[in-house]
Amino acid sequence: MKSELRTTTALAVTALLAMLISTHAASGPPADALAAPESFATIADTAARSAALFTEAGKVLTHPRCMNCHPAGDRPRQGDVQRLHQPPVARGDDGFGLPALRCPICHQAANFEPAGVPGNPDWHLAPHEMGWEGKTPAQICEQIKDPARNGGRSLEDIVHHVGEDHLVGWAWAPGGDRRPAPGTQAQAGALLDAWVKTGAVCPN
């Protein structure tokens, strides 16, 4: 009797786990992954497919790894909670900080793990007109299509910037206990490339 009960319990647990795994798989990629551009091919309407592609890429653009360096004001953010940078620093005229406290003083060519300080040879803030903090993916989309608000870049430049720029690539290898951006840099670039090729339509 006890043996039969254990067998019944084991089968029930197995069935429950199988159901949970199936449900998870059916719900799409996890939050730290990105869907491939090909997975949107079933959306027949080109404009709707384009908007969906940007929405997927928006998982990267609105992630703390990107948003922290695209603040609305002149102070960068830090960490997954996006607190104001400590010690207090300011953007400066060129995005590399004020003369008394330039970004490269603390942010070296690579992450300094003993102190948890991120690093890259080109560490700096995005231009003020490229501030994304507090904006929706739709608003960010309209902004990056506007050369007056995207650093003077074409859409092809945006694809290259996100998909290949070395500083942007840090978002996927942030070190410490920082969560990397979803997917990979190449996947993010591929999504934006497909978005451009389908008309660069912004989500609602």
Q: Mean pLDDT lowest for which of 9-23, 40-54, 112-126?
A: 9-23
- Count of domains in the chain? 1
**140 lies in some domain:** yes
2 within domain boundaries:
no
| pTM confidence score | 0.83
Residue 151 falls inside a structural domain: yes
Residue 6 lies in a domain: no
In degrees rounded to 5, what are phi and psi of residue 179? -75, 130
Q: pLDDT at position 140, please?
A: 97
- Tens-place pLDDT, residues 78-135: 999 999 999 999 999 999 999 999 999 999 999 999 999 999 999 999 999 999 999 9
- What string of DSSP letters covers 46-85? HHHHHHHHHHHHHHHHTSHHHHTTS-SSSS-EETTTTEEP
Which pLDDT value is given to residue 23? 30
The burial of 182, by beta-carbon neighbours within 10 Å (0-12 exposed, 13-18 middle, 19 or more buried), is given as buried
The reply to whether 183 falls in a domain is yes
The residue range of the domain holding 172 is: 40-83+125-197
pLDDT of residue 20: 29
pLDDT of residue 30: 53
CB atoms within 10 A of CB 59: 21
pLDDT tens digit sequence for 154-204: 999 999 999 999 999 999 999 999 999 999 999 999 999 999 999 999 999
| Amino acid identity, position 139 | Q
Is the Cβ–Cβ distance between 181 and 171 less than 8 Å? yes
